[in-house]
Structure 1
Amino acid sequence: MDTTSSKLIERIQSLEEMNEQLRTIINFSSDGLYVVDPQGVTLEVNTAYEEMTGISREEVVGKNIRDLVFVEYFDRSAAYMALQSKKTTTIMQRIKKRKYFVATATPVLDDDQKVKMVVTSVRDLTYLNHLQNQIKKAEQKETTPSPITSASQPEEAPFVFNSAEMRSLAEKAKQIAAFPTPVLITGPSGTGKEVLASYIHHHSPQNKHSFVKVNCAAIPAELFESELFGYSNGAFTGAKKEGKPGLFEQANHGTLLLDEIGELPLPMQAKLLRVLQDQAVTRIGDTKPRQLSFRLICSTNQDLKTLVHHKQFREDLWYRINVIHLPIQPLSKRKGDIAPLIDYYMHHFCQQYGLRKHLSSSAKEVLTHYPWPGNIRELKNVIEFLVVSTSSDSITSRDLPDHMKDKSQVDAVVLRQKEAPSATNNLNLKEALTLFESQQILRALHASTSLRSAAKLLGIDHSNLIRRMKRLGMTYRRPKDN
């Protein structure tokens, strides 16, 4: 072996030892670390990241962060934002739809100011964020003698539409806003039920008072009563000496939105009915009822009538809250709203991030004809991702997620199957195989609690299932209880 070869081998061994030392140092960090190359391909994650996120190194190393976003490992990527801006970027990131983290992405630049890699530090703030919210609420209560009259008013959420269906709905909402009648808003997730509720509040006589939003699915069952009704001095161990007003009291003279009302436990349904009938609430540990006056709006993506039939929702409560029913159609059934929503969120995110981006005609054509199964929420997330992840000012159809570019053919096949089941015989071999494959994957997903268990049921590995779902334009939404 000549001297040059020997030195080269020594150099390689030295680099390998250095890499191993760096990996050891990285793994000693208590923060989660995630490293990508200039193209966004994952190079390394440390042990802390694996432990706090539940994502193993093998799942992500070698994969592009953009692809991981669109298979819903993350809701968005700080690393991509840092790649574009070449500046340290901090965002709140949701991983695997379960926990929230603060992600700070720092680009490492060479002498020519080109990005060599991006190192993202990830901290688990799910619990701390909850504590901070509780502290803020406590501070507000201490500094605000009456949350009823001096509660600050949030800005009205944008109500963007152009379709005849939504114009009719908006007119009806504005008309009934003047009366304190209970309203039930129904529609699939992400269609804008909360925005419509806010629209009603801002056009009502209660608009100078509080608009209190309660996610019934997010409050643990054991905390429902204390959160909604409040508690008196010394009601239980750990209770505040001065007691605490519940959400009903905070909404007094204003509007109370009970989102995902179908998730309300049956015992609480009975107590809610009593509050609505008596227009009064009694705090836990108290005997004196407090008279209230608030506008009640409920929203749900479930069929409450079916829940009533199955004894999962009280029939008397359903009649009480279903005085005015405002159904919102999915975005796929009101295509006239897609273009103005795209324009609104393009302007919104360009302004938010200080960028000047625009959609090419080809990209907008694809976006306006995409069925948007995730409705407005999906549209908003996709537009934000396109604004921050594309390198040029013009966003073209090449920048769109693969599942959008490839989905049209699958949608056409599925649509034909829905409209005419007997038409299956008219499909060519490729269409029939695509339809069969998508049906089998859907069945496995519905019968499983995770992508891994669905892959096992199908007899394929996890990464294979993800690739097939991307090709078919399918997305996975984790069940609510996870």
Structure 2
Amino acid sequence: MNATIDELIEKVKQLEETNEQMRTIINFSSDGLYVVDHQGVTLAVNKAYEEMTGISRNEVVGKNIKDLVFVEYFDRSAAYMALQSKQTTTIMQKIKKRKYFVATATPVFDNEKSEDRKVKMVVTSVRDLTYLNHLQNQIRAEQKNTRSSTNKEHSPVVFKSPQMTSLVKQAKKIAAFPTPVLITGPSGTGKEVLASFIHEHSPQKEQPFVKVNCAAIPPELFESELFGFSGGSFTGARKEGKPGLFEQADKGTILLDEIGELPLPMQVKLLRVLQDQSITRVGDVKPKRLSFRLICSTNQDLRELVYHKQFREDLWYRINVVHLAMQPLSQRTDDIPPLIDYYLQKLCRKYYLDKHISSDTLSILTHYPWPGNIRELKNIIEFLVVSTTSTTITPHDLPEHMREHGRYEPSPFEHDREIPDSIMSAYDHPNLKEALALFESQKILSALHSSKSIRSAAKLLDIDHANLIRRMKRLNITYRSKDS
């Protein structure tokens, strides 16, 4: 008997510790959290909720959410709607008649597997609309930068392998038709570049090319960002409203990157947009017809997501009209040398340098597996361009893991090379002289990059023109004017 009582006491202690841990976690959340039971009675609110709304927990805990709406604490309740529908509900909520919030209420069920499952409680996440407006401004700024850079320069599709030759040929063939395209492949393989190539070879090439990173948009902002909102649809909205990304892509092309990250509720709305070729802004009732080319890209297996009910099967069929599958760089090694040459030339122009890659180094780079694909290759080439003090990039200059992969062993005649061993090993074991030379090179390159001429760079470095030229000659730095 005593053992049973002791066990019960121990279980009570464990429950109290668990509850205390849960209260701590809830209070550390940056979102406001409001919890009600299956009858709508308020169980708890966290500190963030109290701070952003001005409502203390003593005012609401133990009170039914319907009564709080009746006395106008809130204009309406997402938690009450979720209790009725048994579905996650997101609304714009006005609290104490003065401030708007976005409230997302998620029901918690007593038995996830039961068909007749009952709601145990509802957890509502509340965010201040001011914060969401700040996120929107950040997204708009990023999109503006992306569009302006896209208009200035389109990265070419650099290739030589039979696989990419066939893929590019197919992309060019289908570019003339407005059919949806799905581009798949691991991260860093150049899916966005291929999407840009399709747009540039389409009849819409003079029209907008809008890129949307689905993984970077908070779920609360998906609808207003993609479809826009009408004037006065909520407090803080522009009087004239805002066109969404689909409207901005009208008569052009829209790329939905990381399409697999799109939440299920938005997948339903996207499917409707694709079927009707029209959108309805948030807060509006009148649809607007659009004409756009849809390209989607993902590094995920959408069929697997469909199987696990994380991606709608009907949407997958809709976007998968033309499928272009990009292979990892390790499976198309013929593309590695031209990609190295492209980025080497581009970065040398950018930093006013003249660098070359030795045949031994090129061999190691060609046989390296490149797990990060083209993105990793570009970063490695930039590292080699700015970190080496010699005009020739040798195996000594490569990161250690790449040298080990290539099993590089110094030649017995290494000392006969033009570049001294001390210079060649400067990156791995820098002495004071080589460290100073590397620092000096970086300072000069930075000044040249920020200046219109060698003379203005010398002024920036606070040395005379002739002195800078002597230093550049000693460090093998070649200057090319920005107009060349």
TM-score by length of 2: 0.54
Q: How many residues were matched structurally?
A: 275
Q: Could you say what secondary structure the match of 2:215 adopts?
A: coil
In 2, distance between residues paired with 1:366 and 1:238? Answer: 57
* Displacement after TM superposition at 1:153 (Å): 3.3
Partner of 1:228: 226
Partner of 1:367: 365
Partner of 1:384: 382
* Displacement after TM superposition at 1:158 (Å): 1.4
* Displacement after TM superposition at 1:155 (Å): 2.7
In 1, distance between residues paired with 2:158 and 2:348? Answer: 17
The aligned runs of 1:93-108 (5 Å cut-off) are none
In 1, distance between residues paired with 2:295 and 2:210? Answer: 10
Q: Aligned partner of 1:218: which letter? A: A
Partner of 2:182: 184
Partner of 2:319: 321
Partner of 2:340: 342
Q: Aligned partner of 1:293: which letter? A: S
* Displacement after TM superposition at 1:161 (Å): 0.1
| 1:298–1:321 CA contact under 8 A, matched in 2 | yes
In 1, distance between residues paired with 2:286 and 2:354? Answer: 59
Q: Could you say what secondary structure the match of 2:346 adopts?
A: helix
Q: Aligned partner of 1:376: which letter? A: I
Q: Structure 1: which 5+ residue stretches go unaligned?
A: 1-126, 141-146, 410-482
- Residue 265 (str. 1) matches residue 244 (str. 2): no
Q: Aligned partner of 1:350: which letter? A: C
In 2, distance between residues paired with 1:404 and 1:152? Answer: 33
Q: Aligned partner of 1:337: which letter? A: D
Task: Quickly say closer, same or farther: Cα 1:182–1:241, change in 2 above 3 A.
Answer: same
Aligned equivalent of 2:250, options 233, 249, 252: 252
* Displacement after TM superposition at 1:301 (Å): 0.3
* Displacement after TM superposition at 1:401 (Å): 0.3
In 1, distance between residues paired with 2:136 and 2:353? Answer: 32
Aligned equivalent of 1:294, options 276, 289, 292: 292
* Displacement after TM superposition at 1:357 (Å): 0.6
In 2, distance between residues paired with 1:317 and 1:128? Answer: 31
Q: Aligned partner of 1:251: which letter? A: A
Q: Could you say what secondary structure the match of 1:298 adopts?
A: strand
Q: Aligned partner of 2:267: which letter? A: Q
| 1:151–1:210 CA contact under 8 A, matched in 2 | no
Q: Could you say what secondary structure the match of 1:197 adopts?
A: helix
The aligned runs of 1:10-159 (5 Å cut-off) are 134=140, 153-159=151-157
- Bigger relative contact order (CA 8 A; separation at least 6): 1
* Displacement after TM superposition at 1:217 (Å): 0.3
- Residue 241 (str. 1) matches residue 234 (str. 2): no
**What are the Cα deviations for residues 379-416 of structure 1, in whole angstroms up to 9, with x where unaligned?**
0000001000111111110000001111357xxxxxxx
Task: Quickly say closer, same or farther: Cα 1:300–1:151, change in 2 above 3 A.
Answer: closer
Partner of 1:278: 276
The aligned runs of 1:377-456 (5 Å cut-off) are 377-408=375-406
* Displacement after TM superposition at 1:360 (Å): 1.1
In 1, distance between residues paired with 2:373 and 2:136? Answer: 28
RMSD: 2.5
* Displacement after TM superposition at 1:138 (Å): 8.7
* Displacement after TM superposition at 1:323 (Å): 0.4
In 2, distance between residues paired with 1:167 and 1:217? Answer: 30
TM-score by length of 1: 0.55
* Displacement after TM superposition at 1:134 (Å): 3.8
**What are the Cα deviations for residues 303-339 of structure 1, in whole angstroms up to 9, with x where unaligned?**
0000000000000000000000000000000000000
Q: Aligned partner of 1:238: which letter? A: G
| 1:189–1:301 CA contact under 8 A, matched in 2 | yes
Partner of 2:30: none
Partner of 2:329: 331
Task: Quickly say closer, same or farther: Cα 1:133–1:184, change in 2 above 3 A.
Answer: closer
| 2:368–2:406 CA contact under 8 A, matched in 1 | yes
Partner of 1:202: 200
Task: Quickly say closer, same or farther: Cα 1:134–1:214, change in 2 above 3 A.
Answer: closer
| 1:177–1:203 CA contact under 8 A, matched in 2 | yes
| 2:361–2:393 CA contact under 8 A, matched in 1 | yes
- Residue 217 (str. 1) matches residue 215 (str. 2): yes
In 2, distance between residues paired with 1:222 and 1:390? Answer: 47
In 2, distance between residues paired with 1:217 and 1:382? Answer: 26
Q: Aligned partner of 2:371: which letter? A: P
In 2, distance between residues paired with 1:354 and 1:154? Answer: 21
The aligned runs of 1:348-363 (5 Å cut-off) are 348-363=346-361
| 2:136–2:221 CA contact under 8 A, matched in 1 | no
* Displacement after TM superposition at 1:135 (Å): 5.7
Larger radius of gyration: 2
Q: Aligned partner of 1:211: which letter? A: F
Task: Quickly say closer, same or farther: Cα 1:307–1:347, change in 2 above 3 A.
Answer: same
**What are the Cα deviations for residues 34-76 of structure 1, in whole angstroms up to 9, with x where unaligned?**
xxxxxxxxxxxxxxxxxxxxxxxxxxxxxxxxxxxxxxxxxxx
Q: Aligned partner of 2:239: which letter? A: K
Task: Quickly say closer, same or farther: Cα 1:185–1:209, change in 2 above 3 A.
Answer: same
| 1:197–1:297 CA contact under 8 A, matched in 2 | yes
Q: Could you say what secondary structure the match of 2:266 adopts?
A: helix
In 2, distance between residues paired with 1:224 and 1:357? Answer: 45
In 2, distance between residues paired with 1:370 and 1:244? Answer: 48
Question: Could you tell me the percent identity over the aligned residues?
Answer: 69
| 2:364–2:406 CA contact under 8 A, matched in 1 | no
**What are the Cα deviations for residues 343-364 of structure 1, in whole angstroms up to 9, with x where unaligned?**
0000000000000011111111
